Structure 1
Amino acid sequence: MPETVEIGLGRDARRGYHLDEVALVPTRRTRGSSVVSTAWQIDAHTFELPLVAAPSDAVVSPSTAAEIERLGGLAVLNGEGLWARYEDPAQALASIVDESGCSTSTLQQLYAQPVSSELLARRTSELQAAGIRVAVRLSPQHTVALSPAVLKAGVDLLVIQGTVISAEHVGSDDAADDALNLKTFIADLDIPVLVGGVTNYQTALHLMRTGAAGVIIGYGAHSGSTTHSALGIDVPMATAIADAAAARRDYLDETGGRYVHLIAYGDITTGGDIAKALVCGADAVMLGEALAGAAEAPGGGRYWDPTASHPRVPRSALVDLGVDPGDRPSLAELLLGPTADPSGERNLFGSLRRVMAKCGYSSVKEFQKAELIVTCLR
């Protein structure tokens, strides 16, 4: 039975665990890091790192997408971001990066420029011409209107992502042309679709039943997130991932073997966080703020996600990572090392390989069986 606590007479709440409240317990014979594989595969696409770069304009541009793929990961371009709103987003980015007092209202003004379907299709084609796997994120509210442009341009993976998503998003007045029914929408596509975020077992199971190839767990909580204050929503990631993994097991039985990948997104900043997310049941992690300090990142050492520019209810703030321009590490150092930084925030996947070896596992699927212990840090 799930652990519950009484918060008042007749009202119980379930206990949830964050990643920093659990730890790994090595219980098997160790092995050398050289025999460990961090590769994962979704549909026909194989990646050397279990990494999905978050669809933030601070992290993913057409040029960084190519570099992230070269290093072994998958980058997701925000289909409703600056690259789909401006012919040349350099000036808009400079307004964010160079303005010391850049505020939420500045972000709202910049993102008030309408998304251009023509620009979005062109960016998709440019990524495809670079010879990389093309992944584009759309919000549930705008998927019906914008997806034809990216699908026609040749996207390889479509990401439908919001703070919280359901199997059917209904727009204003329940208009038929304004509704997104994921089950019918995905059934008409011949490319894998990733959907999220979700926070619990039931929603994860519903989204798996739509035919999604992957489900994103969490809403991308980071140091500037205010979703817990603005909406009262928080996601204890260790519990949320484990719940989704339970939903996947039940869905495997229900379908006779259809496997849905889980991507953990939120409160993941170190190699240890990545390792714990995988052991809880994730197949890969989605990283945003953790990559924003890279020298190649278009945000220039600042981080913001799509919720920061919401025109009515912004749910995160612009974060200045405080990294001196001359000290910003390369994406290669952040992801693969080597590094002289002992914090765990660099050489993220080198750290993952090492802990997999110390726990005695040679693949990500095997590593999901590693033992966890509750440390109750909070």
Structure 2
Amino acid sequence: LGVLNLEGLWTRYEDPAPVLAEISQLEPEKATRRMQGLYQEPLKPELIEVRIGEMKDAGITTAASITPQHTEALAPLTVAAGLDILVIQGTVVSAEHVSTRIEPLNLKDFIYNFDLPVIVGGCASYATALHLMRTGAVGVLVGVGPGAACTTRGVLGVGVPQATAIADARGARIRHLDETGRYVQVIADGGMRTGGDVSKAIACGADAVMLGSPIASATGAPGQGFHWGMATFHPTLPRGARVETRDLGTLAEILVGPAYENDGRRNIFGGLRASMATTGYANVREFQKAEVMVAPALQTEGKDLQRSQKVGMG
């Protein structure tokens, strides 16, 4: 499932191709400042309908994201355009948003009255995940700062190791299920590059994963060899970097193979299937019960030749 950022370049420019090409050619030391300028182009509400329509014409399930501060203004446009799933996404999203400048968004009231299923995030703690689940969201995005392009942990000093964040959200899901009978999907968001990373996220309790840089590494990706996050272009406090992503192959090869390299970055979900089979689990729900341990030497033990030759896991 692809999720379109409705506050990105695709809804600011009728033809974003020249802008994307310019970003791909920027010198590293000039990239952030120039991207701040490019993202100052106002959002064009009519392009929201156009972009969602283009996705629907492709015959796919349509999903799009907006930030909490723009939810009430933009969400009705997504319904009118025929969107299937709405994602309300920020660095951290609270069910008890507070603002002195605008009327704060009441997530619970909004989701209750909204016509589409809503996914919300991010979060990285038991309490926050539980609060978001209690809003009526069908899924919660878990992760603050683990992504390849994100600098939130350095700029803000905020974040939780992704395995811990997922495990805590898993605990919140169990409590919410006990209280309400509703199962809310835990979606691990960020920090995963390989099939092994995805496998560990599922074993920690995730139902699904949100991938960024692996998708941006696909042949023909709009970033033309680069990837950046939703806060990279913040006008006063950027919290992301434009990072280069090597062309790893087609989108299909990255997700489901076949792989022609042994680093785990191709055929990611083939890696997940093999990991489940190796540990004796038949489906995701069973795999979430796998034993998990902290093992710093897991990828280095016995790998001296690989490291010295810079192959495989070296």
- Normalising by structure 2, we get a TM-score of 0.91
2:228 is matched by which residue type in structure 1? Answer: W
Indicate conservation of the 8 Å contact 1:217/1:264, yes or no: yes
1:157 aligns with 2:85: yes
Aligned length: 297
Aligned position for 2:152: 227
* 1:96 aligned to which of 23, 38, 42: 23
Q: 2: CA distance between counterparts of 1:141 and 1:221?
A: 23
Structure-2 change in CA distance of 1:186 and 1:301 (3 Å): same
Residues 1:240 and 2:165 aligned together:
yes
Contact kept in structure 2, 1:335 and 1:348, CA below 8 Å: yes
Deviation at 1:328, TM superposition (A): 3.9
Moved more, 194-203 or 217-226: 217-226
1:208 matched residue in structure 2 = 133
Q: Does 1:86 align with 2:86?
A: no
From 355, 359, 364, give the equivalent of 2:275.
355
Q: How far apart in 2 are the matches of 1:346 and 1:194?
A: 27
> C-alpha root-mean-square deviation of aligned residues, in Å?
1.5
Deviation for aligned residue 1:340: 1.5
Shift of 1:318: 0.5
Aligned position for 2:242: 318
Q: Which residue in 1 is equivalent to 2:250?
A: 330
How far the C-alpha of 1:169 sits from its partner, in A, is: 2.5
For 1:301, which of 225, 228, 235 is the aligned residue?
225
Residue in structure 2 matched with residue 142 of structure 1 by the alignment: 70
- For the residue of structure 1 that corresponds to 2:2, the secondary structure is strand
SS of equivalent residue, structure 1 residue 180: coil
Give the one of 346, 349, 352 matched to 2:266: 346
Larger RCO (CA within 8 A; separation ≥ 6): 1
Secondary structure, counterpart of 1:205 in structure 2: helix
Name which of structure 1's ranges 101-110 and 236-245 shifts more when overlaid on structure 2.
101-110
**Mapped partners of 1:86, 1:278: distance in 2:** 37
8 Å Cα contact 2:125/2:168 also seen in 1: yes
Cross-structure match for 1:35: none
Amino acid of the structure 2 residue aligned with 1:371: E
Q: Percent identity?
A: 54
Q: If each structure's strand is expressed as a fraction of its own residues, which one has the higher value?
A: 1
Q: CA deviation at 1:377?
A: 5.6
**Structure 2: how far apart are the matches of 1:315 and 1:305?**
8
CA contact (8 A) 1:162 1:219 kept: no
| Structure 1 residue 98, shift from structure 2 partner | 2.7
CA deviation map 1:241-273 (0-9, x unaligned)? 110110111111111x11000000121111001
CA distance in 2, matches of 1:172, 1:153: 32
Q: Read off the aligned partner of 1:373 and give its amino acid letter.
A: M
Provide the rounded CA distance (Å) in 1 between the counterparts of 2:161 and 2:148.
15
On the 8 A contact 1:141/1:169 being kept in 2, the answer is no
Match of 1:182 among 91, 94, 107: 107
Q: Residue deviations 1:323-347, cap 9 Å, x none? A: 2xxx541111101111111111111
Q: How many angstroms apart in 2 are the aligned matches of 1:305 and 1:372?
A: 30
Tell me if the contact between 2:117 and 2:138 (Cα under 8 Å) persists in the aligned partners.
yes
- CA displacement, residues 66-85 of structure 1 (integer Å, 9 cap, x when unaligned): xxxxxxxx000001011100
3-state secondary structure, aligned to 1:87 = coil
Q: Is the 8 A contact 2:146 2:162 kept in 1?
A: no
Other structure's SS at 2:239 match? coil
Contact 1:268 1:287 in 2 (8 A): yes
Aligned partner of 1:119 in structure 2 is: 47
Alpha-carbon offset, residue 128 of structure 1: 1.5
The change in CA–CA distance for 1:139 and 1:377 in structure 2 (over 3 A counts) is farther
Select the residue among 71, 89, 94 that pairs with 1:166.
94
Q: How far is the alpha carbon of 1:220 from its aligned partner?
A: 5.2
Give the TM-score taking structure 1 as reference length. 0.76
* Cα deviation 1:179-218 (Å, max 9, x = unaligned): 2110000001232100000010000010111000000001
Give the residue type in structure 2 aligned to 1:249. I
2:175 pairs with one of 236, 247, 250: 250
Q: 1: CA distance between counterparts of 2:15 and 2:116?
A: 29
Contact 1:84-1:123 within 8 A present in 2 as well: yes
For residues 130-153 of structure 1, give each alpha carbon's deviation from its aligned partner in whole angstroms, at most 9, with x where no partner exists.
211110000111111111111111
What's the CA shift for 1:116?
A: 1.1
1: CA distance, partners of 2:6 / 2:98: 20
Is residue 2:208 matched to residue 1:280? Answer: no
Q: Is the 8 A contact 1:141 1:171 kept in 2?
A: no
Q: What does residue range 24-103 of structure 1 map to in structure 2 within 5 Å?
A: 74-101=1-28, 102-103=30-31
